[in-house]
Structure 1
Amino acid sequence: MSADVAALPGPLTEEYTARWSELTGRWAAQPGTTLGTLGPDGTSSQLAARFLAQQHGLSVELFVTFDEVLERLVDRKIDYALVPSAYQGLTRFHWHRDLRLQAFFPQATPEYGIAGRAGTAADLGPHGTPVTVAAMWEVRRIYAEVVPAALSDREVRWVEAVSTQHAAEIVARGGAELAVTNAPGIHAHGLRWVAVRPGAEILWTLFGPAAPARTGVPA
């Protein structure tokens, strides 16, 4: 291993600390700074945003998609965006010429898994028939990871959802038989776990404008 590679953790730690100090200093100077992320209440993004809001006096705005979050941030309608590293479109934030990665931090999500309505296991149709599963693209792999043996040979027909809460809502109103969702999703929509796994610790990224806004919105 080269000397440069061996020395890498030091500069990374310093960069992490410097960015957090700079960002939280701005937040302290401007209470009510607006942080946008994916909603509704109960998404892992909303829970992470709520944690930051409670710690730093932020105002949180929730959007249906991260496309909307990106658009509002670029238009300076919100001050910062909170985006999980697991989001498949994160590169659009990284590579946008008008945005800058302001800071990042690790935090675990709630429990995730497969959920259905009460009595779902008996209502999935005959053995060998397809099963409909509502899920965000980013968490579909969890299905194969935790699916019970009784369902492992069933063809999956995916129903697209824009959030974990949306997936749970789709199942609650009969639009799919199962959902890949999180613990707040099953509680909010009266579902039951079919299979569950612990949450995952992921990196959360915070983006803001690359330069100060002319209107006075913080960078």
Structure 2
Amino acid sequence: MTGYALRPRATDGPADQTPFPILWEPARIPHSPLLRPGDLSIGTLGPDGTTSMVALGRLAHRLAHLGGPVVHAVPYDSFEELLAAVGTPSGPPYALVPGAAECATRFFWSPRLRLDATFSSPTPDYGIAARGPRLREGVLRLATLRETRRLVELLDGLEGGRGDYDIAWVPAESTMHAARLAAEGQADAAITNEPGRVANRLVFQVSRPGVPMVWMVFGPAVVNQPTPASVEGAEPHER
């Protein structure tokens, strides 16, 4: 898949008003490409607007602040597709995965990958969104990721609660995909995030604030050693 550089525009102001600490896996610090100038592709769950892409944007800004590379985002339709591609000749060398991803454990056990860094970043607001101003009682076709199904509990905040609805799950690959399914009429509502709601012109029927999420950056199991000239004058690395 084709990546694109994550650079804040001058009119946007700082992408990260409150810089967050990144925890580096100790043995990788001296030679990690995450800390070298240049260009670096990182894959995660797309398209633009998913919670993963929001987190990748914050990471890109933070790495640039530390003197690291310009990050090129490579979006994938699912974490399974990302796992199959990352570290291969045709895929990105790095992957960004949330701790809540159902298949996160498989990234740890991949022989091509090794955990390089972790950080915490809040998710956008989440909620149940639909095209109209209110949900109709009865069968409710609800588009969602498996990881966000539990947010169906938000319906308890509506008058009558979940008892007014017979939930029919509509599988989605991402928050943006879920929102698009609702916008196209393939679902009555979606469990999505604020960017997904806005991009698809949906209305939150009920919502909740975002939560702090742990994000993991997986890189190649073997890192090429830089030449002495490439590390001369490097800044001390954050721990």
TM-score (norm 2): 0.75
Q: Distance in 1 between matches of 2:111 and 2:187?
A: 40
Query: 2:217 pairs with 206, 213, 217, which one?
Result: 206
Counterpart of 2:86 in 1: which secondary structure?
helix
Describe the superposition over 1:156-189 as per-residue Cα deviations: whole angstroms up to 9, x where unpaired: 1000000000000000000011100000011000
Tell me the equivalent position of 2:111.
97
Measure the CA separation in 2 of the matches of 1:67 and 1:23: 30
Q: Percent of aligned positions with the same letter in both sequences?
A: 34
For 1:3-152, list aligned pairs within 5 A: 16-17=23-24, 19=26, 22=29, 26-56=33-63, 57-76=70-89, 77-121=91-135, 124=136, 127=137, 129-147=138-156, 148-152=158-162
Question: Amino acid of the residue matched to residue 136 of structure 1?
Answer: L
SS of the residue 1:16 aligns to: strand
Provide the secondary structure at the position in 2 that maps to 1:58.
strand
Deviation at 1:100, TM superposition (A): 0.6
CA distance in 1 between partners of 2:111 and 2:25 (Å): 22
* C-alpha displacement of 1:150: 2.8
Greater per-residue helix proportion? 1
- SS at 1:59's partner residue? strand
- Give the one of 186, 194, 199 matched to 1:175: 186
Q: CA RMSD in A?
A: 2.3
Q: What is the deviation of 1:116?
A: 0.4
Structure 1 unaligned blocks of 5 or more:
1-14, 215-219
Q: Runs of 5+ in structure 2 lacking a partner? A: 1-21, 64-69, 226-239
Which of structure 1's runs of 4+ aligned residues deviate more than 3 A? 15-21
Total equivalences in the alignment: 195
